[in-house]
Amino acid sequence: MPLAALTSAVGLYARLGLPEPWLPATESIPLVIYGASSAVGSYAVQLAMRSNIHPIIAVAGKAHQHVDAMIDRSKGDTIVDYRNGPDELVKGIKDALKGATLRHAFDCISEHGSFQSICKILDPHGKITLVLPGKDYSEIPDTVQWTTTFVGAVHGNPIDLKDFGYVHSRYISKGLEDGWFKPQPQEIVPGGLGGVESALKNLKDGKASAVKYIFRIADTPGAGA
């Protein structure tokens, strides 16, 4: 959980420069979170909610119910289904904006056409942060400020966000204690380490949605021998 939660904090606050949750926004800030049902995406939604960032335009697939439980529809938050194709996705985001300008986007997928679709709506001088380093992002317009987000930054690699990580790890712990910050749903895979192959296949085939797999080493056949 700390890896994904801190990744979301780095993306929202260190990369996109959005208001911190202890100094929440006082005006509307539209935010697209692409991959909102993923671990990083889910934690980004929860932190954005705490920062009073709205409307949140959450891009998700079949895990609508999981995402819908986190957002606030009364403040304009909504879900756009990427499975309807890129054209419908772009239209859905535009409709959700209701004429507002989109200046911030957190792409928690960063492949399969995600950032290309976002950039069709993003302000020419807006900000987008992505989670996959080393990819070809040349299709992002030159005027857009784009960055990559990775949790290594809170450990000083390649930049020093150690103090940032210190503060946010404690704030996330407080959120867990207070009940407003919740972990991803978890599923224990049968067979311990013997279930790794089937779990990886599920991930590759896109069958794992809004869930984190757990492997109990003690359940591995022969582990106690």
Mean pLDDT, the chain, integer: 93
Q: What is the mean pLDDT of residues 51-78?
A: 94
Task: Inform me whether the pLDDT recorded for 11 exceeds 90.
Answer: yes
> pLDDT value at position 58?
97
Percent of the chain scored above 70 by pLDDT? Answer: 99
**Amino acid in the structure at residue 23:** L
**Amino acid in the structure at residue 68:** D
> pLDDT value at position 224?
66
- What does pTM read for this prediction? 0.89
Q: What is the mean pLDDT of residues 49-56?
A: 98
More confident residue, 5 or 202: 5
Task: Inform me whether the pLDDT recorded for 207 exceeds 80.
Answer: no
Q: How far apart are the first and last CA of the chain?
A: 31
Task: Inform me whether the pLDDT recorded for 220 exceeds 70.
Answer: yes
The fold of 2-178 is Rossmann fold (3.40.50)
Percent of the chain scored above 90 by pLDDT? Answer: 76
How do the domains of the chain map onto residue ranges?
2-178, 186-219
Task: Inform me whether the pLDDT recorded for 109 exceeds 90.
Answer: yes
Interhelix angle 162-178/2-9, nearest 10 degrees: 110
Query: Which residues are registered as beta bridge partners of 212?
Result: 186
